[in-house]
A and B are shown apart, each in its own frame.
Chain A
Amino acid sequence: KAGVTQTPRYLIKTRGQQVTLSCSPISGHRSVSWYQQTPGQGLQFLFEYFSETQRNKGNFPGRFSGRQFSNSRSEMNVSTLELGDSALYLCASSRVGLTIRYNEQFFGPGTRLTVL
Chain B
Amino acid sequence: AQKITQTQPGMFVQEKEAVTLDCTYDTSDPSYGLFWYKQPSSGEMIFLIYQGSYDQQNATEGRYSLNFQKARKSANLVISASQLGDSAMYFCAMREGDRGGADGLTFGKGTHLIIQP
Contact = CB atoms under 8 A, between A and B. Distances in A.
B95 A100 contact: yes
Interface in A78-101: 88, 90, 92, 94-101
B45 A48 contact: no
B104 A107 contact: no
Given A42-B110, A88-B43, A97 B101 contact: yes
Chain B: interface residue count, which band?
20 to 34
A107 B108 CA distance: 17
A106 interface: yes
Interface residues of A, number: 34
A20 B37 CA distance: 26
Interface of A: 31, 33, 35, 42-48, 50, 55-56, 58, 88, 90, 92, 94-101, 103-110, 112
Given A48-B101, A55-B99, A112-B43, 14 more contacts: A33-B104, A33-B105, A42-B108, A42-B110, A45-B104, A47-B104, A92-B105, A95-B101, A100-B97, A103-B101, A105-B47, A106-B47, A107-B47, A109-B42
